[in-house]
Amino acid sequence: MLDYIIELFSAAQFVPHAVCLLWRPDLLVMHGVSDFLIAAAYFTIPVIILKAVKLRPDLLHPKVARLFAAFITACALSHLAGLLTLWVPAYGLQGVIKVATAAVSIYTAIQLARLLPNFLTMPSRIEMARSVAEVALQERKVMEATEARDKLSEFAHIASHDLKAPMRGIANQARFLIEDHGDALGPDARRRLDRMQELCGQMDVLIATLLKYSRLGGAAARETVDPKEIIDDIVSSLGEALDEENARIEIETPLPSIHANPSEVATVLRNLIVNALTYSDADEKRILIGYQEDVVVKGRQIHEVFYVRDNGIGIDPEFHSEIFRMFKRLNQREAYGTSTGAGLAFVKKVIESNGGVIQVVSAPGQGSTFYFTFTGRGEAKTAAESLIFRETHVV
């Protein structure tokens, strides 16, 4: 083996390539200078590529950059070997370099063929610019919505004070009339004054509810939250009500932790659970809570989804969007309690302020399932960072 290697790299039995060119100066200059300049350029290009990728990783995938660098460097060595053999008949060395160059070239071609489908799906610069512009627009809308929410919260706080004061005054005047002149009032007058106090009480509740709604979705502190712990607290607080309603709350699947504000998660779960208890005529009320990695709801695929399912009266599909409106009730107060109808509006606002979505699947007499998501499964990049990272690292 050693003898073969020595013989392979031996130049004694060969003549330089220049002999074939009859040592013509013009041919030697053309071949020699061309090989030298090509080799110099081929050595320079990989250095530029690797430095560019190091400084700007988003320009080209590192794997592709390394493939091109290796391929072009091998080609440079091939040209240097050609330059050498003009004067030194080291054809064995030249052959080894060519074999290595061929191997690197074939490997690069195979890898590029495998990566071709990914290249074809990569967005163009125009598409990327458009996508980034869309993300910037969405972030600006979020900022504007946040400012509007803050203004609404401030307005609601001031308005609630200005509205509550005269409302309490009306209620107090009605109470004073009853206390001071009750004997002189007829039954109809007493009934009207009692009704006036009742309406003032309802208005007070509505104002308080509106104020609470305006404060939802603010910059609340977030932490790792275990939904099961929150559900256990809710079940504990509803203990007597669950017994009276003959209701059971079951967790069907393991629930992953989320990165959110605990009180907001509790607001969502409590309102959905109470809603399920309220709107049910079943002898045994069942509320099932679970989690799915992927689910298709109304033709839309949603990832990392929590759900609350009940066996209640159900909701007609034509009202599925209506139920999330503030103070919206589909049923008479006498039949299903005296709530303000703000619970699901609270739920929707909290979820959307956390970047999530909520959908309901329901039909009359078939119960309801509320699917919802929180984006806080761990810390995330901004929308723009996530988009740019995804589009420039397709390979």
Taking the domains of the chain in order of start, what are their residue ranges? 2-121, 136-215, 223-372
pLDDT reported for residue 324: 81
User: What is the pLDDT at residue 388?
Assistant: 37
Cα separation, 164 vs 148, in Å, equals 23
Question: Is 318 strand, coil or helix?
Answer: helix
Backbone angles phi, psi at 300, to 5 degrees: -115, 125
Say if strands 300-310 and 358-362 run parallel, antiparallel, or are unpaired. Answer: unpaired
**CA dist list (Å): 137 to 132, 355, 391:** 9, 16, 18
Looking at residue 280, its pLDDT comes to 85
Place of tokens 């033709």: 299
Contact assessment for residue 357 and residue 351, using Cβ atoms and an 8 Å cutoff: yes
Least Cα distance to 92 among 14, 2, 3, 1 occurs for 14
- Please answer whether residues 247 and 277 qualify as being in contact, where contact means their C-beta atoms are separated by less than 8 angstroms: yes
Tokens matching residue 105: 């070239």
In 112-178, the DSSP E strands lie at none
Distance separating alpha carbons of residues 168 and 205, to the nearest angstrom: 12
Give me the pLDDT at residue 99, please.
94
Question: 250 in helix, strand or coil?
Answer: strand
Burial label for 336, CB within 10 Å (0-12, 13-18, 19+), is: middle
What local confidence, expressed as pLDDT, does residue 34 receive? 95
| Backbone phi, psi, residue 289, to 5° | -120, 135
Structure confidence at residue 48 (pLDDT): 93
Predicted local confidence at residue 156, as pLDDT: 65
Q: What are phi and psi of 124, to 5 degrees?
A: -75, 170
The first and second tokens of residue 73, run together, are 């460097």
The torsion region of residue 246 among left (phi > 0), alpha (psi -120 to 50) and beta comes to left
Whether residue 366 contacts residue 90, with contact meaning beta carbons closer than 8 Å, is answered with: no
Task: Check residue 197 and give its pLDDT.
Answer: 84
| CB contact at 8 A, 354 and 264 | yes
pLDDT of residue 101: 94
pLDDT at 154: 67
Q: How large is the greatest C-alpha to C-alpha distance in the chain, in angstroms? A: 137
Q: Residue 172 to residues 13, 17, 176: CA-CA distances in angstroms? A: 120, 114, 6
For residue 247, give the H/E element and its range.
Answer: strand 247-251
How does DSSP assign 64-77, residue by residue? HHHHHHHHHHHHHH
Going by the DSSP 8-state scheme, the letter that residue 124 receives in this structure is P
Q: Is residue 236 within 8 Å of residue 201, measured between CB atoms?
A: no
* The predicted structure's pLDDT at residue 214: 63
Give the residue among 376, 337, 330 at the shortest CA–CA distance from 353: 376
Supply the pTM of this predicted model.
0.48
Return d(Cα 359, Cα 320) in angstroms, integer.
Answer: 8
Assess contact for 87 and 360: CB atoms under 8 A.
no
CATH class held by domain 223-372: alpha beta
Q: Walk along the chain (395 residues) and give the pLDDT tens digit of each residue.
A: 777 777 777 777 888 988 899 899 999 999 999 999 999 999 999 999 999 888 888 777 788 888 999 999 999 999 999 999 999 999 989 999 999 999 999 999 998 888 888 877 777 778 888 888 888 888 887 787 677 667 666 666 666 666 677 777 888 888 888 888 878 888 888 888 888 888 888 777 767 766 666 666 555 567 888 999 999 988 988 888 888 889 999 999 999 999 888 888 888 998 899 888 888 888 899 999 999 988 888 777 888 899 999 998 988 888 787 888 766 666 655 555 556 667 788 888 888 887 888 999 998 988 999 999 986 443 333 434 333 333 333 33
Angle at 226 between CA 374 and CA 308, to 5 degrees: 55
